[in-house]
Amino acid sequence: MRDFPSCFGESGVQVSDSSSGSSRSCQNVVTCLYKAHLRRRPCVITVTWTRHLMGQGLAVGIDDSCSKSLCKVDIKPWLFTKRKGSKSLDADGGKVDIFWDLSAARFGSGPEPSEGFYVAVLFDLDMVLLLGDLTKEAHRKTNAGPSPSNAVLVAKKEHLFGKNVYSTKAQLCDSGKVHDVAIECETAAAAGGGGGGLKEPSMEIRIDRRRVVQVKRLGWKFRGNQTILVDGTSVEVFWDVHSWLFGGHVGNAVFMFQSCLPTEKLLPWSCSQSFKETQLRGLGFSLVLYAWKSE
């Protein structure tokens, strides 16, 4: 996950995006990271949803606590006509089984299904990760043991498209509800009053239609951060809109919502650490949004 933010300054976020040179068809991607355990050993399960002209795609990968890949299954979009199946692999001295059924899945505007599906990851017949609402069908198909999934969603990365408004739904902390997140940015709006000038670029971020961040002089504050409160939890919001203002309509803005654990549980975040290593150390949930301007 090299394109997740990995190093923060005191007044902003430094972000690299390996997909900035890709075509839009390759950017319709949602990536979710789950912290789980294989025989009590910590691991990270990465689930990536893609949408291409050829259909939906799904990839599931498992890394250990040192970010070493244990196994990966890549379901190509052109194989998605079947929309359900399973795959078995050897990993970490045991057997990993991945089951999926998206034959009745319903999708919104993005590549991630909203209902009517399941994706299950088992390790030696124990359920490690179970996604979707068809839980009974998943247990019946997999013959999994009675132990519930121990996986916790720790990070999500999503690409959004729009002209001035970028919207998504997100759960910003593990025990919170799903919220509507909207980012509205005016980078070159005509000023009123017949003066013929331009407004100062500005930006607003809203949670459930409530404004939580407002930046009026965006040309001077194109990178920054602010703390907000969501579901009783402190969430640090970082933004970098440099490409919108100075990139000549090339590139994307990046936003990160990082939930904050109590002070005594926060650990130093070194620039040399990978995103997965940080999450395994117990930092809160992260939502990373790449906002692309539509032509």
Whether 209 has a pLDDT exceeding 70, the answer reads yes
Mean predicted confidence (pLDDT) in 58-73: 90
Mean predicted confidence (pLDDT) in 163-171: 88
Say how far apart CA 164 and CA 188 lie, in whole Å: 10
Predicted pLDDT at 283: 57
| pLDDT tens sequence across 66-78 | 888 899 999 877 6
Predicted pLDDT at 4: 38
**pLDDT band of 144, cuts 50, 70, 90:** confident
Question: H or E element: which one contains 277?
Answer: helix 275-280
Say how far apart CA 132 and CA 135 lie, in whole Å: 7
Whether 281 has a pLDDT exceeding 70, the answer reads no
Of 253, 235, 251, nearest in space to 291 by CA:
253
Predicted pLDDT at 265: 41
Of residues 36 and 176, more confidence is placed in 36
| pLDDT tens sequence across 229-256 | 988 888 999 999 998 888 766 678 999 9
| pLDDT tens sequence across 249-269 | 667 899 999 987 554 344 433
Of residues 159 and 19, more confidence is placed in 159
Of residues 233 and 17, more confidence is placed in 233
Q: Which two tokens stand for residue 84?
A: 């359900």
Say how far apart CA 97 and CA 115 lie, in whole Å: 22
The answer to which of 42-46, 100-104, 171-175, 210-214 has the lowest mean pLDDT is 171-175
| pLDDT tens sequence across 20-33 | 444 444 468 999 99
Say how far apart CA 47 and CA 29 lie, in whole Å: 11
Of 67, 64, 118, 136, nearest in space to 96 by CA:
64
Of 119, 125, 3, nearest in space to 56 by CA:
119
| 134, 117 contact by CB (below 8 A) | yes
Whether 39 has a pLDDT exceeding 90, the answer reads no
Whole-prediction pTM value? 0.80
Whether 18 has a pLDDT exceeding 50, the answer reads no
| pLDDT tens sequence across 82-138 | 788 999 998 878 899 999 999 999 988 789 998 999 999 999 989 999 999 999 999
Of 13, 94, 83, nearest in space to 55 by CA:
83
Q: Name the average pLDDT for the chain.
A: 79
Predicted pLDDT at 192: 42
Say how far apart CA 53 and CA 95 lie, in whole Å: 34
Percent of the chain with pLDDT over 90: 42
Predicted pLDDT at 52: 78
Report DSSP letters for 39-80, one per residue: TTEEEEEEEEEEEETTEEEEEEEEEETTS-EEEEEEE-GGGT
Say how far apart CA 242 and CA 203 lie, in whole Å: 13
Q: Which two tokens stand for residue 168?
A: 């998504």
HSE of 139 in the Cβ direction (CA atoms, 13 Å)?
Answer: 8
Percent of the chain with pLDDT over 70: 75
The answer to which of 7-11, 179-183, 263-267, 274-278 has the lowest mean pLDDT is 7-11
Say how far apart CA 214 and CA 262 lie, in whole Å: 25
Predicted pLDDT at 295: 66
Task: For residue 149, list its beta bridge partners.
Answer: none
